[in-house]
Chain A
Amino acid sequence: MGVAQVPSIPETPGPLFPELASAEEKFRKCIQCGVCSGSCPMGEAMDYAPRKAVKMLLEGRFNEVVESNTPWLCVSCHTCAVRCPSQLAISDGLFPALRAAVMAEGKALDQDLQKALQNTYLYGNPMGISPKKRADWAKTAGVPVPIISQLRRPVDVLWIVECYPSFEPRGQEISKLLARILNALGVDFAILGHEERCLGDCEWLAGERGLFEMLIERNIEILGKYKFREIIMTDPHSYRTLLNIYPALGGRYKVKPVVQFLAERLDQLKPRLKKKLNTTATYHDSCCLGRKTNHYEEPRLLLRAIPGLKMVEMVQNRESSLCCGGGASTIYLDRFIQERMKDRLADRRVMQAAATGAGILAVACPFEPARFEDAVKLTGNEEKLVVRDIIELLAESMEVQ
Chain B
Amino acid sequence: MNIAVLTKQVADLVEGIEIDASGRAVDRDSIRYILSESDDHALEEALLLKERSQAHVEVFSLETGEVRDGLCTALAKGADRVVMILAGQETPPSNHAAARMFASVLKGLPFDLILTGVRAIDDLDGSVGGLLAGYLGLPYVGLVRKVELVDGAATVEKEYPGGFAAELGVKLPAVLGIQAAEQPPRYVPVTRLRQVMKTAQVEEQEAEPASEEPVSVERMYKPEEGAGAAMLSGSAEEIARQIVNLLSERRVTR
A residues in contact (CB < 8 Å) with B = 10-11, 100, 103-104, 106, 108-109, 111, 114, 117-118, 121-123, 128-130, 132, 169, 208-211, 213-214
Tell whether B187 is near chain A: CB-to-CB under 8 Å. Answer: yes
Number of interface residues of B (CB under 8 A): 19
Q: B146: CB under 8 A from chain A?
A: no
Inter-chain CA distance A248–B34, complex, in Å, is 33
A203 to chain B, nearest CB (A): 9
* Stretch of B93-101, B119-127, B188-196 lying at the A interface: B188-196
Given contacts A11-B195, A211-B190, 10 further A-B contacts (CB under 8 A): A10-B191, A103-B189, A104-B192, A114-B187, A122-B12, A130-B14, A169-B235, A209-B191, A210-B189, A210-B193
- The yes or no answer to B236 lying at the interface (CB within 8 A) is yes
* Complex Cα–Cα for A58 and B239 (A): 55
A200 to B194, CA, bound (A): 17
Considering the complex, give the chain A residue whose CB is closest to the CB of B77: A106
CA distance A314 to B190 in the complex (A): 41
Shortest beta-carbon contacts, A-B, top 3: A210-B190, A210-B191, A211-B190
Can you list 18 A-B contacts (CB < 8 A)?
A10-B189, A11-B191, A103-B187, A103-B189, A104-B189, A108-B184, A108-B186, A114-B187, A129-B14, A132-B16, A208-B190, A209-B189, A209-B190, A210-B191, A213-B190, A213-B191, A214-B190, A214-B194
User: In chain A, what residue has the closest Cβ to B32?
Assistant: A122
**CB < 8 Å: which of B183, B184, B192, B236 contacts A210?**
B192
Q: Using Cβ atoms and an 8 Å threshold, which residues of chain B touch A111?
A: 184
- Contact residues of A: prevailing secondary structure: helix
Q: Which residue of B lies closest to A128 (CB)?
A: B14
Which residues of the other chain, B, contact A208 by a CB distance below 8 angstroms? 189-190
CB-based contact A123/B14 at 8 Å: yes
Q: Are A130 and B190 in contact (CB under 8 A)?
A: no
Asked whether B15 is an interface residue with its Cβ less than 8 Å from the other chain, the reply is yes
Q: Which B residues are closer than 8 A to A by beta carbons?
A: 12, 14-16, 34, 78, 183-184, 186-187, 189-195, 235-236
Residue of B nearest to A173 (CB): B235
* Complex-state Cα separation, A169 to B14, whole angstroms: 18
Contact of B187 with A117 in the complex, beta carbons under 8 Å: yes
A132 to chain B, nearest CB (A): 7
Contacts of A118 in B (CB 8 A): 187
User: What's the nearest-Cβ distance from chain B to residue A199, in Å?
Assistant: 15
Question: Closest approach, in angstroms, between the C-beta of B212 and any C-beta of chain A?
Answer: 36
Q: Which residues of B lie under 8 Å from residue A114 when comparing CB positions?
A: 184, 187
The CA of A130 and the CA of B12, in the complex, are separated in Å by 10
In angstroms, Cα B198 to Cα A292, docked, is: 37
Looking at A104, A106, A109, A129, which has the most chain B CB atoms within 10 Å of its CB?
A106
On whether A169 and B236 interact (CB within 8 A), knowing A122-B34, A129-B14, A130-B16, the answer reads: yes
Across-interface contacts of B235 in A (CB, < 8 A): 169
Roughly how many angstroms separate A12 CA and B19 CA in the complex, as a whole number? 46
Give the residue name and chain of the A residue nearest to B193 (CB).
A210
Taken together as a complex, chains A and B put the C-alpha atoms of A190 and B212 apart, in Å, by 53
A130-B187 in contact given A169-B235, A169-B236, A210-B193 (Cβ < 8 Å) = no
Inter-chain CA distance A114–B12, complex, in Å, is 18
